[in-house]
């Protein structure tokens, strides 16, 4: 399918870039063009931010029930277009179409959940020791610049938009150029919701190095919501620093999965392999380091490899496919570089996924990995599993925390009390017991250290991140 020349959505109108320039988007599997998108520049950001600023007062003052109904109606509209968006995700991003329907329906759920939460934004009264009454009220931040990643495009853009506007903010959304058509089709769906006022959501397309950075530095932007690499997050923080914007940032991870001798091996293999190879490992929450107790190491590895070998790598439009291509040739080369570094550093490549053409890499597994290796310390963001053996509990917990990231972790044991006790020692934003990370509309998500800044995304807590607390003081003295 060819989508032709798409337009940006600013102030409720379809517009080209001020410069008239466009850029092509391609089918990630075949390399064939599927459409063009406007190449936005700073002038287009100014226009989008101005539209959001103009729409903000009326949207913020709308009664919560009315705003909630509009946000919920967006979710209903997304459901009607779920198959189309899953197809576009397969073309532009490479996630198999029959799998992409899951996060696409999850995108609708993001709006439904945010709509429900928006009716229950509560402040509180602070007890007073004088003749004053103190109240804290939750209020919207203002204009939000939302910058989203390419690895789960529709779900993550919908999550940020839903939470920010449900709290009463207006926004400007920018996604990576790889996902430009996905975002502009999202704009078409939003345009169908007649009750949504013009300018509440504005969507622009173009290079992050130009317009993403400018959005973060823009004096009329009050908050930046960003999901992406830690390196890009640092750049966003630097751009936002002069104007002291509020930041909500979910960044990278190198996540430990710690398996104890009494772990249910079959269950652990099923869940961990799914999260490792789903979306070709292009997920910040995927298992980054496996720590397997020596008593079950061989059995776990045998079952894990058997599971991985049966995954089908191929055309994302084929219903039999488990893994499509990586998102781009640039990212393919990056992941291949990590595999080559693992071999060079002396790790044992027990399953080699480098046997495919184009941008495809199959399941890849390393053993004999040591802490000095690049594949052990850095986020690979690909279908590469890093296996380590352990025998001493205190030592493995130290190794699990010995990293600059702090996103998520999982502990696998039948002793739940012990798992919870150990979880307190993990320096992460989330951890799971006999499960790995599972992102849902109702569940807050985010990390610490170099994995996140500004709190959680998702759930009611995620909605609160797009608000400020306003202090109200009332004098109770009788004149």
Active-site residues: which are they? 250, 284
d(CA 53, CA 440): 30
- Show contacts of 342-351: CB within 8 Å, 24+ apart: 342/366, 342/369, 342/373, 342/374, 342/375, 342/384, 342/386, 345/372, 345/373, 345/374, 345/375, 346/370, 346/373, 347/373, 347/375, 347/386, 350/301, 350/305, 351/305, 351/308, 351/309
Degrees (nearest 5) of the Cα angle 248, 163, 451?
A: 30
Query: Among 140, 379, 346, 417, which residue's Cα sits nearest to residue 256?
Result: 379
Q: What DSSP character marks residue 127?
A: P
Helix (H), strand (E) counts: the chain: 15, 20
* Residue 93 falls in which region: left (phi positive, over 0), alpha (psi -120 to 50) or beta: alpha
Give alpha helix (H) positions in 356-458: 374-377, 393-401, 416-423
* Residue 280 falls in which region: left (phi positive, over 0), alpha (psi -120 to 50) or beta: left
Q: Using an 8 Å Cβ cutoff, are 55 and 37 in contact?
A: no
Letter string b/e over residues 417-456, b meaning 16 or more CB atoms within 10 A of that residue's CB:
eebeebbeebbbbbbbebebbebebebbbbbebbbbbbbb
Q: Using an 8 Å Cβ cutoff, are 281 and 382 in contact?
A: yes
- The secondary element (H helix, E strand) that includes residue 215 is helix 213-217
């Amino acid at each position: 399918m060819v989508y032709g020349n798409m337009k940006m959505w600013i102030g409720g109108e379809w517009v080209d870039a001020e410069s008239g320039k466009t850029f092509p988007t391609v089918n990630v599997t075949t390399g064939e063009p599927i459409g063009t998108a406007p190449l936005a520049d700073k002038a287009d950001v100014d226009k989008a931010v101005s539209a959001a600023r103009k729409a903000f007062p009326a949207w913020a003052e709308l009664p919560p029930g009315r705003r909630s109904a509009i946000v919920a109606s967006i979710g209903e509209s997304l459901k009607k277009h779920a198959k189309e968006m899953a197809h576009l995700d397969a073309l532009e991003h490479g996630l198999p179409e029959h799998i992409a329907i899951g996060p696409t329906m999850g995108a609708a759920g993001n709006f439904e959940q945010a709509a429900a939460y928006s009716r229950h934004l509560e402040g509180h009264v602070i007890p007073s020791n004088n003749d004053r009454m103190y109240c804290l009220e939750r209020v919207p931040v203002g204009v939000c610049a939302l910058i989203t990643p390419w690895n789960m495009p529709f779900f993550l853009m919908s999550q940020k938009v839903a939470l920010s506007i449900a709290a009463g903010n207006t926004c400007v959304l920018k996604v990576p150029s790889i996902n430009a058509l996905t975002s502009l089709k999202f704009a078409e769906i939003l345009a169908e919701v007649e009750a949504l006022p013009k300018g509440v959501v504005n969507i622009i397309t173009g290079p992050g190095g130009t317009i993403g950075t400018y959005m973060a530095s823009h004096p009329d932007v009050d908050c930046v919501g960003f999901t992406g690499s830690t390196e890009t997050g640092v750049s966003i923080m630097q751009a936002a620093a002069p104007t002291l914007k509020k930041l909500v940032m979910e960044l990278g991870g190198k996540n430990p999965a710690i398996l104890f001798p009494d772990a249910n091996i079959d269950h652990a293999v099923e869940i961990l392999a799914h999260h490792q190879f789903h979306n070709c490992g292009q997920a910040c929450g995927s298992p980054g380091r496996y720590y397997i107790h020596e008593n079950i190491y061989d059995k776990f590895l045998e079952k894990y490899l058997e599971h991985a070998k049966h995954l089908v790598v191929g055309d994302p439009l084929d219903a039999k496919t488990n893994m499509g291509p990586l998102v781009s040739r640039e990212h393919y080369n990056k992941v291949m570089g990590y595999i080559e570094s693992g071999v060079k550093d002396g790790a044992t490549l027990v399953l080699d996924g480098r046997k495919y053409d184009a941008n495809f890499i199959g399941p890849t597994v390393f053993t004999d990995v040591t802490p000095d290796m690049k594949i052990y310390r850095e986020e690979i963001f690909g279908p590469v599993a890093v296996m380590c053996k352990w025998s001493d509990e205190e030592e493995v917990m130290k190794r699990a925390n010995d990293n600059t990231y702090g996103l998520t972790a999982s502990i696998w044991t039948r002793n739940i009390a012990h798992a919870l006790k150990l979880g307190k020692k993990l320096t992460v934003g989330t951890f799971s017991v006999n499960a790995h990370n599972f992102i849902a509309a109702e569940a807050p998500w985010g990390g610490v250290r170099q994995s996140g800044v500004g709190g959680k995304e998702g759930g009611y807590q995620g909605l609160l991140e797009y608000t400020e607390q306003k202090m109200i003081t009332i004098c109770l003295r009788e004149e």
